[in-house]
Amino acid sequence: MNLFRNLKITHQFLIVFGILIIGFAAVGMIYKQVLDIDQEGTSLLEQTHAFDTLVNSAARDVSAMNAAEIGFKLTGDLQYVENFEALNGKVQQKVYNLGRQAPDEKAQSLVVQMQQGVDAYTSNFNELVDLSEMLGLSQDKGLHGEMRA
């Protein structure tokens, strides 16, 4: 500290000013890093939100497919089959988009499982429709109609 006191006041002022400038520069660099980290976190949050929204939308459409299936089972009305097929197209597109947006391998694996589940569900529903049409959707059609004739 004696060395600092032995310097002229102008030199002391320059040293203090230099330390102050270095301090401000360090604070500025740290602040920029914080902003970069915050921006990256915001970007990841937005991606996660978009992925979550798409998952929820696909889940709602699968629930609507289930409602169409139940409607068909209860009434035998082919309008429910058309609704099911339209919803299936939406779900297939959403699952494809989920696969493209999956943030990591685990999410990608879950999307593949979801695709397999939707494919199996669609296949089983189509078999149900085919068998129902073969049996007869009304008393006058299919095997029911032949038995009554």
pLDDT tens profile 14-36 = 888 899 999 999 999 999 999 99
Residue the block writes with tokens 């006058």: 140
Digit-coded pLDDT (tens) for 73-95: 998 899 999 999 999 999 999 99
pTM (2 d.p.): 0.71
Q: Mean pLDDT score of the chain, rounded to an integer?
A: 88
**Cβ pair 72, 64 in contact under 8 A:** no
CB 93 within 8 A of CB 58: no
Q: What is the pLDDT of residue 14?
A: 86
